[in-house]
């Protein structure tokens, strides 16, 4: 709550820069052989999209402090003025949903960047997929994507949506946001880069 009290006292409503971040919400660095990774994220160097941040590989691998883990394969500068997200849970544990919701909190305030949520894929610029792509949600995912106007992006939020995590399968996406779950600063940073702002 310290940010909230500071805001009341000083009139500052949002964090302009990231000052604190949970260490295990940042990329891992290290070396040495480690065969017990449950998702095989260390088979060929550290694979951020497969890592579920279980900490089993510590101390061989440890957090770097760098939260900018997102990667973008397709930028759409058209989205610079406003950017509407349509979240879809295709089989998550719920934690990715909580972190995504947090980017709308006063602390992160996504609206200052022109980022908004929409309740319909017909108004969406990006489909934010959370969780493994379960058989039961495959049709809903496809229909939501088809209902979106062009140009449109698919954002895979979290290791489950990217690679299937511990089990299941992920989705083909234009924007990859690693984490289990990804932190709000990581999410906002990746979205801004998808819009060509970074």
Name the site residues for ligand SF4 (rule: CB under 6 A). Answer: 37-39, 41-42, 51-57, 61, 92-93, 95-96, 130-131, 158-160, 165, 180-181
- For residue 141, the minimal CB distance to ligand SF4 (Å) is 15
> Could you tell me the CA-to-CA distances from 24 to 28, 52, 165 in Å, in that order?
8, 10, 16
Smaller CB separation from ligand SF4, 158 or 195: 158
Smaller CB separation from ligand SF4, 52 or 173: 52
Nearest partner of 46 among 30, 24, 66, judged by Cα: 30
Is there a contact between 118 and 148 (Cβ–Cβ < 8 Å)?
no
Smaller CB separation from ligand SF4, 183 or 195: 183
- For residue 25, the minimal CB distance to ligand SF4 (Å) is 11
- For residue 67, the minimal CB distance to ligand SF4 (Å) is 16
Instruction: Report the distance separating Cα 117 and Cα 169, nearest Å.
Output: 25
Residue 85: strand, helix, or coil: strand
């Amino acid at each position: 709550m310290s940010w909230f009290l500071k805001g009341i006292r000083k009139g500052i409503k949002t964090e302009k820069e990231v000052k604190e971040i949970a260490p295990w919400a940042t990329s891992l660095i290290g070396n040495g052989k480690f065969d017990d990774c449950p998702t095989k994220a260390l088979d060929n160097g550290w694979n951020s999209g497969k890592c579920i941040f279980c900490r089993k590989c510590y101390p061989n691998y440890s957090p770097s402090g760098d939260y900018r883990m997102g990667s973008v394969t397709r930028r759409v500068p058209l989205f610079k003025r406003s950017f509407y997200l349509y979240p879809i849970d295709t089989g998550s544990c719920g934690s990715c949903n909580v972190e995504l919701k947090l980017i709308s909190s006063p602390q992160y305030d996504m609206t200052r960047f022109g980022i908004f949520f929409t309740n319909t894929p017909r108004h969406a610029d990006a489909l934010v997929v959370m969780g493994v792509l379960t058989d039961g949600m495959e049709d809903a995912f496809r229909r939501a994507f088809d209902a979106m106007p062009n140009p449109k992006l698919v954002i895979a939020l979290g290791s489950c949506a990217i690679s299937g995590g511990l089990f299941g399968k992920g989705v083909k996406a234009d924007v990859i946001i690693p984490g289990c779950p990804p932190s709000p600063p990581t999410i906002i940073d990746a979205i801004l880069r998808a819009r060509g702002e970074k």
